[in-house]
Amino acid sequence: MTSKYAPISILFGALCMSFAALLVRLIQNADGFQILFYRGFPQCIMVMIVACVIRRISIKDFFISIDKTDISLGLAMCIAFSFYIFALLNTSVASALFILSIAPVFAAVLSWVIIGEIPTKRTWLAIVCAIIGVTVMVGTDLTSGQLIGNLFAMISALSFALMLVMARKSKKSDVLTGNFLGACFAIILATILAYTNGDGLVIPAKDMWLSFSLGAFTIGIGIAFVAWAAPYLPAPNVGVLVLLESVLAPIWVWIFLGLPMKYQEISGGMIILCAVLILSLQKNIKH
């Protein structure tokens, strides 16, 4: 891999991840807990393989290397994974994905609180833009029954941002172990809640295979290509390229399921993407 081909690799990874929302919407009978359970196993396997290949270590060494920071990252990712699925099930794909893309803005604020990195004027501008964008998107959903889904997306974005800040503080080269543990914790959580508050874990074969594909293809292969190329590009560049997922996901749902985006979702989403771009440009200028 070279810096010349790294953007192509990241864009392909984002392309794979952009199909996640479509696969979730194609699942007809399984609930959120069941999807988390069956998605988790292939995700664990794929992420572990990718981590071993990238780090050039054995599976045994992969498990030996797990530390307290990885566990903390895993817990944050578990929350992010879980609320991501429930956001897609309870609001429009466009709202969920565009709100999730606000994670870098949340990370900027959390970096100030946790690490002591004081936001610049450009960062505050990005934060204001993000708030305006989210307000535009969720304002029309106050009476449409999608407010809870938008709230789930916000929690997912906040949890993902927390993971990013913890990873930055720990100075880890990648978060693949945290991703692996996040999927493991999600499997455990889903099992408990499926039998206490849900309908157990028995689902139709079609839904099971769609959930497997969700973990292996969109998360497993998608993260593999992003993680492979990430060290060859500045982090802000990676963040901007991965935004392709947020742009394409609603389009796939529109094309294959006939669910178009609302005007407010498009407008608010563009404002949020501008906020993230402002934040990325700031980092590029500083470094």
C-alpha span between 23 and 148 (Å, rounded): 21
Q: Of the candidates 127, 61, 77, 55, which has an alpha carbon nearest to the alpha carbon of residue 278?
A: 127
Residue 82: CB atoms within 10 Å: 24
pLDDT at 128: 79
Q: Is the pLDDT of residue 83 over 80?
A: yes
> What is the average pLDDT value for the chain, to the nearest integer?
82
- 57-61, 156-160, 188-192: range with lowest mean pLDDT: 156-160
C-alpha span between 58 and 49 (Å, rounded): 9
Neighbour-count burial of 41, counting CB atoms closer than 10 A to its CB (0-12 exposed, 13-18 middle, 19+ buried):
middle
Structure tokens at 148: 């809870």
